[in-house]
Amino acid sequence: MNTAESELTWCKSSYSGAEGGDCVEVAASTGVVHIRDSKAVAGPVIRVSREAWAGFVGEA
C-alpha cells in the first residue's frame, strides 16, 4: 500500500458482520474508487473510475 492509499478512509459493507467475513473495502478519492480485500489490507488495490464503480453498483 502506498502513502496516498494509507491516508484514505476505507469503508466496509455493513453485511460483513463483526468477524469481517469475506468482504471488500472501498475508498473514494478524486476521480477514483479504490477497492481492496478486507482481510488483506496491505495487499493489492484495484482502482476504477467513479463512473465504472457507479455502473457496477447499479448492476449489483
Domain ranges of the chain: 3-10+21-59
Is residue 12 a contact partner of residue 37, using CB atoms and an 8 Å limit? no
- Predicted confidence at residue 6, as pLDDT, reads 66
Residue range 2-33, pLDDT digits in tens:
546 668 999 987 776 666 567 889 999 999 99
Is residue 36 a contact partner of residue 24, using CB atoms and an 8 Å limit? yes
Average the pLDDT over 24-52 and give the result: 93
